[in-house]
Amino acid sequence: MSRWHKAALVGNPNAGKSALFNALTGARQKIANYPGVTVEKRAGRMILPNGAPIELTDLPGSYGLQATSPDEEVTRKVILGELAGEPAPDVLVIVLDASNLEQHLVFAQEVIALGKPTVVALNMIDLAERDGLVLDPKALSNALGVPVIPTVAVRRRGLAELGEAIAQAEGHAGDAPHPRARLDMAERRMEAHSIADGVIISESAKHRLHSRMDDFLLHPWLGPVFLLALLFVVFQAVFAWAAPLQDGLEGFVGLISDGVKAEMATGLLRDFITDGVLAGVGAVVVFLPQIIILFFFILVLEATGYMARAAFLMDRMMAGVGLSGRSFIPLLSSFACAVPGIMATRSITDPKDRLTTILIAPLMTCSARLPVYAVIIAAFIPNRPVGLVGLQGLVLFGLYVFGIVGAMVVALILRRSVTKGAASGFIMEMPKYQLPRLRDLGLGLFQRGWIFLRRAGTIILQVNIVLWLLLNFPQAQKGQDQVDASFAGHIANGLAVALKPIGFNRDIALALIPSMMAREVAVSSLATTYAVAAGDDDTTAHQLSDQLQKHWSLPTALAFLAWFVFAPQCISTIAVTRRETNGWKWPAFMLAYLFALAYVFAGITYWSAIALGF
Ligand SMILES: Nc1nc2c(ncn2[C@@H]2O[C@H](COP(=O)(O)OP(=O)(O)OP(=O)(O)O)[C@@H](O)[C@H]2O)c(=O)[nH]1
Ligand SMILES: [Mg+2]
């Protein structure tokens, strides 16, 4: 007797393949391992309605033939017959989750396009019905060009019909395959959406609403326009909503500072508390409202299920620079902070994809840059309306875009040089739309706010104390400027020589050294420096903003902003990069290329601004 024909169950994870496998083979199973990998091989004998046996294999769930995990690799190799000693299956049985049809059709189309004898089990019909969704298997069969059998694996419904269809397909086992045109990922997703829409006989109002929302939010050009508009609103809100709260906090810090001044005798200790601690830490703490508002939006977008859709929209753009949608979530998290972002790259299976994502993560505008941007923008950019929006929000938005574009260009270059390789495909489940839960949102905001305040109270405080000491010793002689006389002043004077060509003054050089610890330290350092420089004879409350306007030109301020788009001034990011890449090579590379970019772009900005007469 020639060998038994073989059939294999393929589909997304959780489609019910194993449940169907158990129902179809009963006790006639054997479990082994695929050679060389720990992936389990489950095969069993199924008796077709005509009494003939066929060997059935239960494959691991997969999102596509562009395998990225060992499980998916096995699935791909088995389907394509690339595994030694494993002839390709004669019949493919695609298992779909009817309650999640659109998602599952993406991979199904890829399998069907192979042109082999194929049968579709439209499984979990019971769950679809529970959701108020009634589907038309005939219409689905027409759309896909293969037989479709409704099943409920756990209730053994539809098994006989499925067996019948497999037997029929087996009759074509010897035929040459009729491969169809292979669509790319985005096209298949689009097609999945329209097929799924077309086979619905009736659906609940909620289901219809969600489907309509996807029509709009995932639309090839309306979707990106909406995403851009949404991001834009976020940045406007970060400025507009936070302003009153920020003024309140600023006033509060001022009150404490005045209180200390009134209660304590003049002297170094009083200066230390007002200039070293309050001016420095206070300057950072006032950004709490902006951080909270930014995270409010990030958390809401994540909880509603929109984030994954944004990732999908971004996938084409990411593919354009050699990355995939998988990089989107790590990069998006990096808008909050590059540290969790870089840690999130662990979900990227392709090592070069992952390395590239790690290297560009610091270019995403993290929340620590927000205080730096905000303080400079508030001091130098007039709050003039530009059409419907404010100029300040526009500039902030521009800085974010600058970071993103920079990251994309760097990725493109890295993918052609340092991390050369093919891009891996995009695979992501679209979560169902949901209203965010207030409790989760509140908790999330509290945690982010707390982390920010703790940083202000620990690392930023310590750095500022050291800076204050370096600024105050040795003490100035009569008639000498304190900052010039200090240790910090001497160091900064040296560094300022190198920074002068890009328009940076001594005070900036001074601020850049301690802000290697964390970017927002730049703000507190500047506040401390100007507080120390102002000395005691200056009785007016030395607002940082006024001081900046007094000491900096507009081109310098703009160059400073450009510097911070690139400069890798965050010791935690360097540390986590070392940990995630197992060595100093990549963090060193990251430092070098980012500082080089920061220098070049700050210089370009400075000289362009001067040329434009700003
Ligand atoms: N209600 C319902 N539940 C089902 C049906 N088929 C499977 N399930 C359940 O869905 C879950 C996932 O089923 P599995 O058979 O493990 O899915 P799978 O496709 O093998 O998943 P992977 O092996 O991870 O790829 C299990 O809890 C099953 O009991 C069905 O038709 N109706
Ligand atoms: Mg399974």
DSSP string, 506-527: HHHHHHHTGGGS-TTHHHHHHH
Question: Are 59 and 46 a contacting pair, CB within 8 Å?
Answer: no
pLDDT band at 531 (very low <50, low <70, confident <90, very high): confident
> Half-sphere exposure of residue 127, counting CA atoms within 13 Å on the CB side?
16
The minimum-distance atom of ligand 1 relative to the CA of 20 is 15
Cα 3 to Cα 78, 168, 500, distances in angstroms: 17, 18, 80
Are 153 and 236 part of one and the same domain?
no
75 CA distance to ligand 2 centroid (A)?
12
Residue 214 resides in a domain: no
- Ligand (nearest to CA of 71): 1
Q: Give the closest ligand to the alpha carbon of residue 127.
A: 1
Atom of ligand 1 nearest to the CA of 13: 25
Given CA atoms 63, 64, 66, 72 in this order, what sign does their dihedral have? Answer: positive
The mean pLDDT value of the chain amounts to 87
Q: What is the pLDDT of residues 212-231, one digit of tens each?
A: 999 999 888 899 999 889 98
Q: Which ligand 1 atom lies nearest to the CA of residue 15?
A: 19
**DSSP H or E segment with residue 367:** none
Confidence category of residue 509, pLDDT binned at 50, 70, 90: very high
Same domain? 155 vs 226? no
Confidence of residue 535 (pLDDT cuts 50, 70, 90): low
Higher pLDDT, 22 or 242: 22
- Give the end of a domain, one of 203, 233, 252: 203
Mean pLDDT, residues 508-512 taken together: 91
pLDDT of residue 339: 79
- pLDDT at residue 347, as a whole number: 67
pTM of the predicted model, to two decimals? 0.71
Nearest atom, ligand 1, residue 12 CA: 25
**Which range, 161-175, 335-349, 592-606, has the best average confidence (pLDDT)?**
592-606
Judgement on whether residues 38 and 108 belong to the same structural domain of the protein: yes
Q: Which ligand is nearest to the CA of 15?
A: 1
Of 345-359, 489-503, 555-569, least confident by mean pLDDT is 345-359
- The answer on 197 and 239 residing in a single domain is no
The atom number, within ligand 1, closest to the CA of 124 reads 31
Nearest residue (CA) to ligand 1, atom 7: 16
Residue with the nearest Cα to atom 32 of ligand 1? 124
- Do both 459 and 533 map to the same domain? yes
For residue 425, being part of any structural domain is answered with no
Separation of 32 CA from ligand 2 center, angstroms?
Answer: 14
Q: What is the pLDDT of residue 277?
A: 83
Cβ-contact 325, 106 below 8 angstroms = no
Ligand 1 atom nearest to CA at 58: 20
Mean pLDDT, residues 478-483 taken together: 79
Residue 349 belongs to a domain: yes
Distance 385 CA to ligand 1 centre (A): 56
pLDDT of residue 426: 61
d(C-alpha 46, C-alpha 52), whole Å: 8
Ligand at shortest distance from the CA of 17: 1
What is the CA(18)–ligand 1 centre distance, in A?
7
Q: Would you say residue 311 has pLDDT above 70?
A: yes
What distance in angstroms lies between residue 153's CA and the mean position of ligand 1's atoms? 8
Show which of 168, 203, 238 is a domain's final residue: 203
**Ligand 1 atom closest to the CA of 123, numbered from 1:** 31
| pLDDT in the model for residue 29 | 82
For residue 457, the CA-to-ligand 1 centroid distance in Å is: 50
Say which range, 149-158, 183-192, 222-231, 422-431, has the weakest mean pLDDT. 422-431
Among 27-36, 125-134, 483-492, top mean pLDDT goes to: 125-134
Q: In terms of DSSP bridges, do strands 53-58 and 6-10 run parallel, antiparallel, or are they unpaired?
A: parallel
- Which is the closest atom of ligand 1 to the Cα of 11? 19
Alpha helices per DSSP H over 381-518: 391-416, 438-455, 461-472, 482-485, 487-499, 506-512
Residues 239 and 340 in one domain: yes
Is 373 within 8 Å of 564 (Cβ atoms)?
yes
Specify which of 19-28, 140-149, 341-350, 476-485 reaches the highest per-range mean pLDDT: 140-149
Query: How far away, in angstroms, is 63 Cα from ligand 2 center?
Result: 13
Predicted confidence (pLDDT) at residue 40 exceeds the cutoff of 90: no
Distance 603 CA to ligand 2 centre (A): 57
> How large is the average pLDDT for residues 571-600?
91
46-56 confidence digits (pLDDT tens) = 999 988 899 99
Q: What is the pLDDT of residue 1?
A: 42
Ligand 1 pocket, mutate which of 12, 18, 76 (most atoms under 8 A from CB): 18
Q: Is residue 192 part of a domain?
A: yes
- Weakest mean pLDDT among 99-103, 368-372, 506-510, 514-518: 514-518
Q: What are the pocket residues of ligand 1 if the criterion is a CB atom closer than 6 Å to any ligand atom?
A: 11, 13-19, 60-61, 123-124, 126-127, 152-154
Q: Is the pLDDT of residue 564 over 80?
A: yes
* CATH code of the domain covering residue 66: 3.40.50.300
Residues 188 and 274 in one domain: no
Residue 481 has pLDDT above 60, yes or no: yes
- CA 195, CA 139: separation in Å to the nearest integer? 9
In this prediction, residue 556 has a pLDDT band, given cuts at 50, 70 and 90, of: very high
Residues 6+ apart with CB under 8 A from 18: 42, 58
Q: Is the separation of the CB atoms in 135 and 102 below 8 Å?
A: no
Same domain assignment for residues 407 and 510: yes
Identify the residue whose C-alpha is closest to ligand 1 atom 24: 13
Decide if 548 is inside a domain: yes
- Ligand closest to 62 (CA) is 1
Domain co-membership, 126 together with 252: no
Q: Rounded CA gap, 109 and 64, in Å?
A: 10
Partners of 120 in the β-ladder: 94, 148
Pocket test for ligand 1, best of 10, 14, 122 (most atoms within 8 A of CB): 14
Q: 58 CA distance to ligand 2 centroid (A)?
A: 7
Per-residue pLDDT reduced to its tens digit, 267-297 = 888 888 888 788 778 777 877 887 788 788 8
Ligand 2 centroid to Cα of residue 427, in Å, is: 19
Which tens digit of pLDDT belongs to each residue from 185-204? Answer: 778 888 999 999 999 999 89
* Residue from 24, 126, 154, 429 to probe ligand 1 pocket by mutation (most atoms less than 8 Å from CB): 154
User: pLDDT higher for 473 or 608?
Assistant: 608
CB under 8 Å to 353, separation ≥6 — which residues?
323, 324, 326, 327, 421, 423, 424
435 CA to middle of ligand 2, Å?
31
Helix, strand or coil, per DSSP, at residue 481: coil
Amino acid 539: pLDDT: 40
CA of 405 to the centre of ligand 1 (A): 43
User: Which of these three, 203, 233, 266, is where a domain ends?
Assistant: 203
User: Would the pLDDT of 329 be above 80?
Assistant: no
Please tell me the total count of domains within the chain. 2
pLDDT at 541: 42
Q: How far is CA 394 from its chain centroid?
A: 22
**Ligand 1 atom nearest 152 alpha carbon:** 31
Q: pLDDT: is 178 or 561 the higher one?
A: 561
Is 426 a domain residue?
no
Task: Please determine, for residue 2, whether its predicted confidence score (pLDDT) is greater than 60.
Answer: no
CB 293 within 8 A of CB 275: no
Nearest CA to ligand 1 atom 26: 16
Segment 10-29 shows an average pLDDT of: 92
Q: Among the bound ligands, name the one nearest to the CA of residue 159.
A: 1
Res 272: pLDDT: 86
Report the nearest atom of ligand 1 relative to the CA of 95: 19
Instruction: Tell whether the model's pLDDT for residue 135 goes beyond 50.
Output: yes
Whole-number pLDDT of residue 424: 61
Evaluate whether residue 435 is within a structural domain.
no
- For residue 497, what are the domain limits? 222-420+443-612
Residues 375 and 489 in one domain: yes
Specify whether 282 is located in the same domain as 142.
no
94 C-beta neighbours (distance < 10 Å), count: 28
Do 194 and 277 belong together in one domain? no
| 401 assigned to some structural domain | yes
pLDDT score for 142: 97
